[in-house]
Structure 1
Amino acid sequence: MNDASDIRHPTSGSLNIGIAGAGLLGRLLAWKLLQQGHHVSLFDRGSREGELSAARVAASMLAPYSEVASAERQVFDWGLMALRWWPEQIALLEQQTGQTIHYGMAGSVVLAHDLDKSSLRHFEQQLQAKVPDHLDGVERIDRERLRSLEPELADRYSSGLFLADEGYLDNWALLLALEIAISKLGGKWYEHREVVSVAPKRIVLSDETLAFDWVVDSRGLGAKAQLPGLRGVRGEVLWVHAPEVNLQRPVRLMHPRYKLYISPRPGNRYVIGATEIESESMQPVTVRSTLELMSALYSVHSGFAEASLLHAFAHCRPAMPDNLPVLNGEVGLLTVNGLYRHGYLLSPQLVEQALAMLAEQTADSVAV
């Protein structure tokens, strides 16, 4: 076991920080802390490619309006902050790494087939109740307005909603850029290392215990034994390549049983999802889910009939009982978890709060 007295600080004020869990939150915090001059070590049960992270199995849409319809107002307010935060951080990441991170902030379109228009009206009513002070971001559109936004959908839909303050980003490119930036800044990766438990200033592995000035626990479901109430919510997504489809922004299709979403990626690739299952099963995507998603996808745009199925992913997203994230701090330990289905929407606010909490508690401990 390493002793805390062995920790060295080459620069005044720098801390030795261990981060358990190198998913979206772990990477963002590592990147930010390294830029502040701290020494950061990341521990993850998978590799630095993030193949075991829920952050990789996501449409990564930035959709505060779409999400608040079935969530707390906090999700919307934090989501608006994310729309401002991400472009600045992406620009900095691209500058540091030379990687391109594709993203779009041109709004999203919400549609429904004629038989399902009641679902669309209900969705609009939910927005009117949840965000009455931000309805200027909700525009009812007719066929001609839709043609100006997404020309290839106008022949199938006569009306819908345009949510101007929504967007998306390429999560795979982002995770790769974060990995490169962290490595360039001197972050240490401990791949394929299962964290058994965490404690203030301690990370416990199966074969050793390591000491740090501070520990951040961002393990997602890996923290279930230590975070009461944490549960997994299964989600499934498909990746397709559709050369005959040209969508510029995310599209949601309202349906009585599910809400299909389509998030664009470079090169006529699209991420499709809808499923949200109260289960912690990590089994592959089911045939039933695939058939339902594909059928709904074809109903949106006939060009998807010729699409190639690239990937079918399933993962469990960590969630607390109220489906809101948790951020707890004590001297030597920060716990941040429970992003549920809002990872890319809520992580900016959580990251900034965690950094502020770490700075405040560090200053308090020094003063004492």
Structure 2
Amino acid sequence: MTQSNLRLRKFAIVGAGLMGRLLACTLAQRGAQVDLFDKARADGGGAAARIAAAMLAPLAESAITEDSVVRMGMYSLPRWKECIGQLSHPVFFQQEGTLIVWHSQDVSEAERFTNHLEKNCRHNSQLPFPQKLTNSEIRQIEPGVAERFMQGLFLPDEGQLDNRQLLESLLKELQLLKVNCHWNAAVDPHQLRTENRYDCVIDCRGNGAKDAWASSLNSLRGVRGEVVRLYAPEVKLRRPTRLIHPRYPIYIAPKENDIYVVGATEIESEDLSDMSVRSAMELLSAVYTVHSGFAEARILEMTTQCRPTLKNNLPEIRVLKEKGLADLIMINGLYRHGFMISPAVMDCALEVLEQGQSNTALDLGLSITSNISTHESSLCA
């Protein structure tokens, strides 16, 4: 994409979570004028991106999601390096693979999981095959858990980043790029279209855009996620580790300074209340079975958030063009894969802004629909 095609065009972005901040920074870097609006404060306290492990794990996620999402995840891994490298402030990024472990009573579950991953690798040549580990091989790559697990899987090339560092670094970049940020400002993207101030309005509100998607067959809902943040200086895990379990599979994502983010599968609920005793007990009991050092860990947070999810559990971009109004682009439905796929979704949106269509979306299988006046047609399937 050439910088000149976006230079001096004026954009309003509504929603300053992960996608909103990424797009605002990228457009500003390419010479566009950007106004960014968010109903919450600058620290991203209301964003789903703040309550996340930020794992970049397309092979691991291939066990539970569609091939298009996996392809977006593979595309996004090198793009994350580029995006983070362009920021003025550092962000923790790691690409040391994922370790999968299981207890002896869950061997059959692990075999099903392994077979599923291997099938996906045969279907998608971009995916690296999982490597089966003996106890001695586990000891070489993750000695802290070798006493408890006789077998494991290693998923090469997978990564993670620090979500809160990223949100903060993007905020600082917005300031350096002189993006006009409007915090604690709840605005209606459709109203902004009528003000004739912008060439395009981009709706990145996540669950805040539920009404805007209500008339669509692919309606929007929130899916609850629960996360525990721990300080565990005795643990020293080097890479994200997942425990296979039939009831509460968990992930443990190590961050800098002995911080660990622990979470599990999603809950079909839009409840934003505090974590339940049952969830807390299951997460903490499971994490202790992975590494005994978690017994003396300090609980920093127990937090919940709802991830914006479309009916088909897949992301989508909608383009609305109407005579006399600014164009409207709606980006939503990143679900539990926000960090894993957001660079891919962003690049597809940028291609739409630049060219009116996205060949990258066609290659990756990202759905882009266009509603021109009252006629709705599919651009990308």
Query: What TM-score does the superposition give when structure 1 sets the normalisation length?
Result: 0.90
**Structure 2 counterparts to residues 8-23 of structure 1, below 5 A:** 13-23=7-17
Conserved? CA contact 2:6–2:31, under 8 Å: no
Q: Does 1:226 align with 2:212?
A: yes
2:192 and 2:40 mapped to 1: Cα distance? Answer: 23
Q: Does 1:269 align with 2:264?
A: no
SS in 2 for 1:267: helix
Q: Which residue of 2 aligns with 1:32?
A: 26
User: Residue 85 of structure 1: which of 65, 70, 79 is its match?
Assistant: 79
Q: Which residue of 2 aligns with 1:58?
A: 52
Change beyond 3 A, Cα 1:337–1:116: same
**Structure 2 counterparts to residues 280-295 of structure 1, below 5 A:** 280-295=270-285
| AA at the equivalent of 1:241 | Y
Runs of at least 4 residues off by over 6 Å: none
Q: Does 1:164 align with 2:156?
A: yes
Change beyond 3 A, Cα 1:12–1:252: closer
Deviation at 1:210, TM superposition (A): 7.6
1:12 and 1:256 mapped to 2: Cα distance? Answer: 49
Q: Which residue of 1 aligns with 2:356?
A: 361
SS in 2 for 1:245: coil
Change beyond 3 A, Cα 1:308–1:330: same
Q: Does 1:344 align with 2:353?
A: no
SS in 1 for 2:213: coil
Q: Which residue of 2 aligns with 1:241?
A: 231
Deviation at 1:120, TM superposition (A): 1.1
Conserved? CA contact 1:137–1:165, under 8 Å: no
Greater alpha carbon shift after TM alignment, 280-289 vs 260-269: 280-289
1:200 and 1:357 mapped to 2: Cα distance? Answer: 22
User: Residue 95 of structure 2: which of 105, 119, 123 is its match?
Assistant: 105
User: Residue 177 of structure 2: which of 177, 180, 185 is its match?
Assistant: 185
Change beyond 3 A, Cα 1:193–1:302: same
1:286 and 1:169 mapped to 2: Cα distance? Answer: 27
Greater alpha carbon shift after TM alignment, 121-130 vs 57-66: 121-130
**What is the Cα-based RMSD across aligned positions, in Å?**
1.7
Q: Does 1:216 align with 2:202?
A: yes
Conserved? CA contact 1:73–1:131, under 8 Å: no
Conserved? CA contact 2:7–2:30, under 8 Å: no
Deviation at 1:201, TM superposition (A): 5.5
2:85 and 2:198 mapped to 1: Cα distance? Answer: 31
Change beyond 3 A, Cα 1:57–1:172: same
Change beyond 3 A, Cα 1:51–1:177: same
Q: Does 1:119 align with 2:109?
A: yes
1:299-349 CA deviation, whole Å, 9 max, x = no partner? 000000000000111000001111110111233111100000000111010
Q: Which residue of 2 aligns with 1:143?
A: 135
1:124 and 1:159 mapped to 2: Cα distance? Answer: 12
| AA at the equivalent of 1:273 | G
SS in 2 for 1:343: helix
Q: Percent of aligned pairs with the same residue? A: 42
1:155 and 1:292 mapped to 2: Cα distance? Answer: 21
Q: Which residue of 1 aligns with 2:377?
A: none
Change beyond 3 A, Cα 1:346–1:194: same
Q: Which residue of 1 aligns with 2:329?
A: 334
SS in 1 for 2:211: coil
1:62-102 CA deviation, whole Å, 9 max, x = no partner? 00011111110111111111111111211111xx2xx2211
1:210 and 1:111 mapped to 2: Cα distance? Answer: 56
Deviation at 1:231, TM superposition (A): 0.5
Deviation at 1:200, TM superposition (A): 8.3
User: Residue 257 of structure 1: which of 240, 247, 255 is its match?
Assistant: 247
| AA at the equivalent of 1:127 | L
Conserved? CA contact 1:200–1:215, under 8 Å: no
| AA at the equivalent of 2:110 | L
SS in 1 for 2:109: helix
2:70 and 2:245 mapped to 1: Cα distance? Answer: 22
Conserved? CA contact 2:109–2:246, under 8 Å: yes
1:103-124 CA deviation, whole Å, 9 max, x = no partner? 1101010000000111111111
Query: What TM-score does the superposition give when structure 2 sets the normalisation length?
Result: 0.87
SS in 1 for 2:96: coil
Tell me how many residue pairs correspond in the alignment.
342
Greater alpha carbon shift after TM alignment, 221-230 vs 322-331: 322-331
1:235 and 1:153 mapped to 2: Cα distance? Answer: 26
Conserved? CA contact 1:201–1:214, under 8 Å: no
SS in 2 for 1:342: helix
1:256 and 1:58 mapped to 2: Cα distance? Answer: 22
